[in-house]
Amino acid sequence: MPAYHSVITEGDFRVLGSIPLIPLNSPKYRGPAPVSNEYDPIGEAINLFRANVLFRNYEIKSPGDRLLIYITLFISDCLNKVAARGLNEKMSDTSRFLNSVANGAIAIPGEAGFPLNSMYQAPANRNDADLLRQYLAQIRQETAHRLVTKLYTDPRTGGELAAPSKWWMAFAKRKFMNKSL
């Protein structure tokens, strides 16, 4: 069974370091990403995370897949860090913690700390690198905000849980493509 791919296969998006600057659906955080109500790459990554994280290999078919891979790796990193802190935290504490994780150091393609340098190209110049770093920071902040909401929502009733959902935390130990950010 093949992995799930992004629905964005082509479009008129600016591409920096092999990552397309896709508009976000109702971003809470400011950044270079334009606003659009048509497609939501963060929502897609969160919805496909539990299915895609089971795959060790992932065939890249479009630039949208590269963004999906990055967001999936970030979600995996967030779940690992939440699990390491313990599963008895309140939603507000986890939200503050993941916000600090999202605002941490960001490695971009072409830098030594980026885990997927073999699959991504480096940005063409310094301005493109700065814009990509800002875009990925916005993606990370928005993903962390939405992930906390998903972690603490009861799938049966829609109410708030006292601890992170065991149905999400079960995937904390899995590594997508045997990589981590």
CB 41 within 8 A of CB 140: no
pLDDT digits (tens, 9 = 90+) for 76-86: 999 999 999 98
CB 75 within 8 A of CB 45: yes
Joined tokens for residue 78: 């967030």
Tell me how far apart the alpha carbons of residues 141 and 100 are, in angstroms, rounded to a whole number: 9
pLDDT digits (tens, 9 = 90+) for 9-61: 777 788 898 899 999 987 788 889 888 888 889 999 999 998 888 888 888 88
pTM over cut 0.85? yes
The answer on pLDDT for 166 being more than 70 is yes
Polymer length of the chain: 181
Closest CA to 175 of 74, 44, 82, 59: 74
Torsion angle of C-alpha atoms 139, 141, 144, 146, degrees rounded to 10: -80
Cα separations in angstroms, 67 against 10, 49, 64, 86:
13, 13, 5, 29
Mean pLDDT for the chain overall: 89
Side-chain half-sphere exposure of 52, counting CA atoms within 13 A: 23
